[in-house]
C-alpha cells in the first residue's frame, strides 16, 4: 500500500505541525500533528480492509482470439474487468506484457457505480514459445484519496507462438520411424532386461552385457542379447553450436532438426514413454530437462524446442567441470587391471577392447558434444534410446561421441544435416556434389556402427538438385564409355 499525492500532503502537514510545536514549545501544534497521524492510521486500516473486499469481488477475464500464432504475427486478446457489485472505490486495470511480447498498453477504469469494462489489445511475439498473457495490474484507491494499492492479477491466457517450419523437410532412409523406434512391445533384441540369447562381442557393446560364463567356455568374448523394454526411455540431444545456424531464417539446420525432434516428442507422448531433452552449445550443456512422461513435461519439451532451441529456457546447465571428467568407468578400470595381470588366452582376447578407451576419451573430453553425451549417458539410471541431432561439421568428434554413448549400453539414432546443403553452395556445382558424397560416406560410417542408426535431414528440393548433378555425371560417364568402346 502506498500514499497518494494527497496522502503525502497530509503527512507533510503533520510533520510541519510537529516541528513547529517542538521548536516553538506549542502543545496545540503537537496535538494537531498527533491527531493527523492517528487519523491516517485509522484511514489506512479501513482502506486495507476495503481493498481486500474490492479485490475479492473483482474478476478479470482474458480471452485470446487465437491460441496459436506464428512469429511476429499480430494477435488480439480481449480483457474484461468486472465487479460483482457496483463499487464505491475507483479501480484502474493496466494491461502489460511479459518479456518477449510487445503490444498495446490500455488502462481500464471502473469508477464509483461501474460494474464492467472491457477492451481488446493487439500484441505480437518475434520468437517461438508459450506465453502467458497479458499481465493485468489492478490499482485500488480509497474513498478519501489518501492510499492506493496495486495488485497483480493471476488471470492469464496461454498463447503458443509456433516457430516457422520448413516446408521441404526430408529425412533420408525408407521407413526410418519404424526402424529407429520399434513397436510396443517390440519382441526384438535390444536394450531391455530379459535375456533372449548371446552373440559375439563387437566394439561398442557395453561391458556390463558380457556373459562371462559363455566367454570362458567358448574362448572369445560374448554378450547377452536382451529383449527391448515396453517403455522406451529416450534422451534427445540437440546440437546448438554456431554451425547449426547455417542457412536462411526459417530454413536453418536447427529448424529442420527441431521438426524431427518435435515429431519424436509426439510419438513418445502417444506411447506415454519418458523423455528428456538436452541442448548443447560451445560451453557445454545449455538446457537439460529431467526424464519424465507427464503431459506437462511433453509440452515443456515442445516449448523449449519452439523457443529457438531453448534460448529463454535455461534449466540447470551442466559444465564439463561438473560432470564427466574424461576417465573410464570404475568397472572398465577394474577389468583392465585384472586383464593386465593375466597372460592366458582369455585375457588376451579381451584386453584390446579396454586398452584404447582411456586414450580417446582424454582426446575428445574438451569437445562439448562428446562431453555432454558422456555426462548424460553415464548419469541416467537406466539405458534406453539416445537421439542425437547434429551436423557434419565435426565428423571425428561426432563419431567418437556416438561410439562412447553406445559403450554405455544405449541404442543411438543420429540425425545429420549436410553443411553443403545449407551454406549457400550452388547445387549444380560439381564440387557441391563431391562434398555431399563425402557427407553420405560419413553418414554410412555411423550407420554401420553396432547399435547405431544414422539418417540425413535436409531440404528436399536442394538435395534433389544436388543428386541430379550426380545422376547427370553418371549418365555422361556411361555415354562416354560406350562411345570409346564403339571407336575401339
What are the domain boundaries of the chain? 1-38, 60-161, 169-192+228-326+365-472
The pLDDT, as a whole number, for residue 386 is 92
The pLDDT, as a whole number, for residue 413 is 93
Q: Is there a contact between 422 and 253 (Cβ–Cβ < 8 Å)?
A: yes
Ordered mean pLDDT values, 10 residues apiece, the chain (488 residues):
86 86 83 87 87 86 88 90 78 88 90 84 84 89 86 88 77 52 45 56 72 77 62 87 88 91 90 91 89 87 72 37 44 67 71 52 68 83 82 92 86 93 85 92 92 92 87 67 43
How far is Cα 343 from Cα 17, in angstroms, rounded to an integer?
Answer: 102
Q: How far apart are the first and last CA of the chain?
A: 102
Q: Quick one: CATH architecture of 60-161?
A: Sandwich (2.60)
Give the residue among 131, 69, 166, 76 at the shortest CA–CA distance from 312.
Answer: 131
pLDDT in tens, 159-177: 888 776 777 888 875 444 4
Q: Quick one: CATH architecture of 169-192+228-326+365-472?
A: 3-Layer(aba) Sandwich (3.40)
Whole-model pTM over 0.85: no
- What cell does 248 get? 536462411
Would you say the C-alpha torsion 240, 243, 248, 251 has a positive or negative sign? negative
How far is Cα 323 from Cα 428, in angstroms, rounded to an integer?
Answer: 46
Give the residue among 128, 149, 132 at the shortest CA–CA distance from 140.
Answer: 149
Cα–Cα distances (Å) from 331 to 40, 177, 230, 244, in that order, read 74, 34, 28, 36
Amino acid at each position: 500500500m502506498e500514499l497518494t499525492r494527497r496522502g503525502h500532503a497530509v503527512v507533510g502537514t503533520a510533520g510541519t505541525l510537529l516541528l513547529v510545536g517542538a521548536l516553538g514549545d506549542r502543545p496545540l501544534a503537537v496535538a494537531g500533528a498527533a491527531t493527523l497521524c492517528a487519523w491516517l492510521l485509522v484511514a489506512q486500516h479501513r482502506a486495507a480492509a476495503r481493498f481486500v473486499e474490492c479485490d475479492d469481488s473483482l474478476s478479470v477475464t482474458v480471452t485470446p482470439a487465437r491460441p496459436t500464432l506464428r512469429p511476429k504475427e499480430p494477435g488480439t486478446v480481449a480483457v474484461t474487468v468486472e465487479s460483482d457489485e457496483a463499487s464505491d472505490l475507483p479501480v484502474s486495470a493496466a494491461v502489460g506484457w511479459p518479456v518477449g511480447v510487445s503490444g498495446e498498453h490500455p488502462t481500464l477504469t471502473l469508477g464509483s457505480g461501474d460494474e464492467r469494462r472491457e477492451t481488446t489489445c493487439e500484441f505480437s511475439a518475434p520468437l517461438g514459445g508459450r506465453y502467458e498473457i497479458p499481465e493485468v495490474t489492478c490499482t485500488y484507491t480509497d474513498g478519501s484519496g489518501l492510499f492506493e494499492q496495486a495488485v497483480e492479477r493471476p488471470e492469464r491466457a496461454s498463447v503458443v507462438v509456433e516457430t516457422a517450419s520448413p516446408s521441404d523437410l526430408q529425412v533420408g532412409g525408407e521407413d526410418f520411424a519404424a526402424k529407429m523406434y520399434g513397436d510396443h512391445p517390440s519382441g526384438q533384441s535390444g536394450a531391455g532386461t530379459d535375456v533372449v540369447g548371446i552373440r559375439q562381442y563387437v566394439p561398442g557393446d557395453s561391458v556390463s552385457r558380457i556373459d562371462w560364463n559363455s566367454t570362458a567356455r567358448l574362448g572369445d568374448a560374448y554378450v547377452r542379447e536382451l529383449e527391448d523394454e515396453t517403455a522406451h526411455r529416450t534422451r534427445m540431444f540437440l546440437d546448438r553450436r554456431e554451425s547449426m545456424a547455417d542457412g536462411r531464417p526459417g530454413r536453418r539446420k536447427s529448424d529442420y532438426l527441431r521438426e524431427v525432434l518435435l515429431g519424436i516428442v509426439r510419438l513418445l507422448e502417444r506411447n506415454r514413454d519418458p523423455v528428456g531433452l538436452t541442448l548443447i552449445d560451445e560451453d557445454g550443456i545449455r538446457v537439460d530437462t529431467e526424464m519424465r512422461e507427464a503431459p506437462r513435461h511433453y509440452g515443456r519439451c515442445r516449448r523449449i524446442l519452439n523457443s529457438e532451441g531453448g534460448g529463454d529456457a535455461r534449466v540447470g546447465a551442466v559444465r564439463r567441470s561438473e560432470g564427466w571428467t574424461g576417465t573410464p568407468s570404475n568397472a572398465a578400470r577394474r577389468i583392465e587391471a585384472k586383464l593386465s595381470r593375466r597372460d592366458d588366452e582369455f585375457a588376451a582376447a579381451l584386453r584390446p577392447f579396454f586398452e584404447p578407451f582411456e586414450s580417446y576419451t582424454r582426446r575428445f573430453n574438451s569437445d562439448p558434444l562428446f562431453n555432454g553425451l558422456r555426462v548424460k549417458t553415464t548419469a541416467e539410471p537406466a539405458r534406453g534410446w539416445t537421439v542425437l541431432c547434429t551436423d557434419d561439421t565435426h565428423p571425428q568428434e561426432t563419431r567418437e561421441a556416438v561410439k562412447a554413448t553406445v559403450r554405455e549400453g544405449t541404442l543411438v539414432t543420429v540425425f545429420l544435416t549436410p553443411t553443403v546443403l545449407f551454406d549457400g553452395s550452388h547445387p549444380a556445382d560439381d564440387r557441391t556434389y563431391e562434398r555431399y558424397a563425402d557427407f553420405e560416406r560419413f553418414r554410412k560410417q555411423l550407420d554401420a556402427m553396432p547399435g547405431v542408426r544414422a539418417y540425413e535431414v535436409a531440404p528436399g528440393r536442394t538435395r534433389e538438385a544436388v543428386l541430379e548433378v550426380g545422376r547427370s555425371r553418371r549418365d555422361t560417364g556411361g555415354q562416354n564409355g560406350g562411345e570409346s568402346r564403339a571407336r575401339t
